[in-house]
Structure 1
Amino acid sequence: MKQTNLLKVSVFLIFLGRAWQHLFWDAPYRTFFWDESFLKPVVENWLGINWTAYVTSPNTDNFIQVFIQCNGFLYLLAAICTLLITKFNKKLFRIPIFIGGISLVILSVLLTKEKFYHTAQFFEHSIQFGLPFVFLYTFRKNYKKSRMFFVLKVLIAVTFFSHGLYAFGAYPVPGKFVDMVINIFGCTESFAITFLYIAGVLDFILAVLLFIPKVDKYALIYAVAWGLLTALARLVANFYWEFPLQSLHQNVYQVIYRLPHGLTPLMVLTGINLYWKKESFIYRKRVLETN
């Protein structure tokens, strides 16, 4: 029951954070609508509009902005449905959640396109676009907790491993990563890069240890702490006391949809602890019956 509640909260936070982003800020849909190599034939041959006129038209930008906000309302609806869904209304309420999950996959693809098709950029969002479908799976008749926990472990491992590739330097280390470390610790750039390198190595080790019985719980404890800290770092590193409300408005939504990076391993960890308690109880019961 605890795991199901954590899963519900996590999915709600993902949709809520993305709704906040789309309704008040921006999202990378222009990387698709302004893709000349892909859309130019459609715009000029089907719509009969010159590409330059299309790109520079205020109507195009207004359309994209409305499209972004419509996605924001979709995420908000999905967040509400996540809180209200039960086994009795699941046929209706699962539709916005499913569509919202598909939209999260598309968003991850666009973020990847924006980052020069770095594969790690897509898989870094595995927890975010994967949890809605795991949540819907819990309402199926053939739902099995063991299968759910395995899928959650895979999502955690892929997310942390992909994040580690950037911190490690397999891809160019994002400047925002370096800036966050510097702003939080007040350190030099070289220290920040070394810190991120070590964090990347630990992410790789975590991805392996998650699948080793009896050791996995220690990896999950680290994942809970690191997942929550990296989520909160978005706010801590970019908070300015001179502009408190603006700082919150600009950064809290990033914290919200990243909190599940720590809540998901917590979900699995509590499940493992309950499993071992159950096994211990069964073992003691057998011993007493034997004696």
Structure 2
Amino acid sequence: MNEVETEIDVQNTSEQSGTDRVLILILRAAAFLCFAGWTWVHYYWEAPYGILLWQDATFEFASEQGVSWDEFIGTGTNDGWLQTWVSRITWLYFAFTIMTVTVRSKSYLQMAALIGGSGLLTVLSYAKYVASQRQLPMFLEHGGQMLAPILLVTALLFGARHRATLVVAMVALVMTFAGHGCYAVGWWPTPGNFYGMISLSLGVQYETANVMLGVFGILDFIVCIAIFLPYVRRWAIWYAVVWGFLTALARPVAGMSMSLNYWGADQYIHEAVLRAPHFLIPLYLAILWRRDLSATPTLAKPIPPSIAPADAVPAASA
């Protein structure tokens, strides 16, 4: 019987190892796509740091470095001191994007760098929070993006199933869905693009979109609570996967058009890409929490005669 148990343990360990690799791959993809999307924003558009940097304190700092006012503000596009330094951040985001692919469990320097990348994402989210007149949900809904690199590092350092990794993932999910829910139910002024995405994607009027947003907002809060309840969290987390994917996809679906240059892909695809953590982090939790039935079919398999115990062999007929 010991040989049977050993075979079962080996098979279960192999299956668990394979699942762990999938979990790491999902977290790696979440961090990679988030950084890749924001790299495009920095390179092609303009990062939202202006609200933080166009201040007297920034000019005073530049003056201390010997930078004149004309050099500070520039004379055209991307030629001022501030614009030049902001554009250079693009290469940091590009480096972080590459690191999400190359980092391994012993790559401590890359892990430290990715934590720094998470800090940059936090600064970026804070800038959007300030630009929104300090509306708390604006900062909260970026939780999945801010924590995606830390989640990958935690999984590599401690393991994909470790409690620390699980806690970071749950915090990221709650922040994202709570932030979105606060806007959807109207506790803070609902952004106009929320109505626009629903109306354009589903072809409904404002009144219907408003009702739908209220329902979706309530479901956001239900998800935030349900993931802490073992008996219902599997259903809630799969809803979070689908809803996170649809809200990310809604940007290009509502915005892209055949009449635009490149069909508008340069304007909207990255909006879905950088929101990948919104559905990949729930997918990580969904796989982690799936009902593990592997032991049942394994035990139910016929025991090979070579290792079957004596009492398992049927007695010879008289």
- Shorter-chain TM-score bucket reads 0.7 to 0.9
**Which structure has the larger Rg?**
2
Matched, 1:34 2:54: yes
- Structure 1: any 5+ residue segments left out of the alignment? none
Structure 2 residue corresponding to 1:180, chosen from 197, 201, 204: 197
Q: Assess, with a 3 A threshold, how the Cα gap between structure 1 residues 81 and 258 changes in structure 2: closer, same or farther.
A: same
Q: Distance in 2 between matches of 1:63 and 1:39?
A: 11
Partner of 1:157, secondary structure, is helix
**Seq. identity, %:** 27
Question: Hey, what's the Cα distance between the residues in 2 that align with 1:206 and 1:77?
Answer: 34
Deviation at 1:262, TM superposition (A): 0.8
Aligned residues: 282
Alpha carbons of 1:183 and 1:48: their partners in 2 closer, same or farther (altered >3 Å)? same
| Equivalence for 1:134 | 151
Distance in 2 of aligned mates of 1:279 and 1:239: 48
Give the letter aligned to residue 147 of structure 1: A
What are the Cα deviations for residues 207-259 of structure 1, in whole angstroms up to 9, with x where unaligned? 10011002001110100000000000000000111125150011111110112
> In structure 2, what is the Cα distance between the partners aligned to 1:54 and 1:31?
19
Q: Residues 98, 205 of structure 1: CA spacing in aligned structure 2 closer, same or farther, 3 A cutoff?
A: same
The Cα offsets for residues 168-226 of structure 1, whole Å up to 9 and x where unpaired, read as 11111101111111111222112212211111111011110011002001110100000
Tell me the residue number matched to 2:42.
22
How has the CA–CA distance of structure 1 residues 56 and 140 changed in structure 2, closer, same or farther, with 3 Å as cutoff?
closer
C-alpha distance in 1, partners of 2:296/2:146? Answer: 35
Name the CA distance, whole Å, in 1 between partners of 2:92 and 2:297.
45
The equivalent residue for 2:281 is 264
Structure 2: which 5+ residue stretches go unaligned? 1-20, 302-308, 313-318
Q: What amino acid sits opposite 2:109 in the alignment?
A: L
Query: How much has 1:166 moved relative to structure 2?
Result: 0.7
Counterparts of 1:206 and 1:218, CA distance in 2: 9
Q: Deviating runs (4+, > 6 A) in structure 1?
A: 47-51, 281-285
Does residue 1:151 correspond to 2:168, yes or no?
yes
Query: What residue identity is the alignment partner of 1:86?
Result: R
For residues 154 and 99 of structure 2, what CA distance do their matches in structure 1 show? 15
Tell me the residue number matched to 1:83. 101
Partner Cα distance (1:209, 1:220) in 2? 8
2:118 maps to a residue whose letter is G
**What amino acid sits opposite 1:65 in the alignment?**
Q
- TM-score normalized by structure 1? 0.86
Paired residue for 2:87, among 69, 88, 94?
69
Provide closer, same or farther for how the CA distance between residues 142 and 164 of structure 1 changes in structure 2, counting only shifts above 3 A. closer
Task: Output the aligned Cα RMSD.
Answer: 2.9
The residue correspondences of 1:155-234 to structure 2 (distance < 5 A) are 155-234=172-251
Q: Which amino acid aligns with 2:33?
A: L
Question: Which amino acid is 1:264 matched to?
Answer: I
CA–CA distance in structure 2, aligned partners of residues 203 and 50 of structure 1: 50
Cα deviation 1:50-106 (Å, max 9, x = unaligned): 98x788553896333322322221111111111011234x03322432221110011
Report deviation, 1:124: 0.8
CA distance in 1, matches of 2:84, 2:67: 20
| CA distance in 2: counterparts of 1:141 and 1:267, whole angstroms | 16
User: Per the alignment, do residues 282 and 145 of structure 1 end up closer, same or farther by CA in structure 2, a change over 3 Å counting?
Assistant: farther
Q: Which AA in structure 2 matches 1:277?
A: L
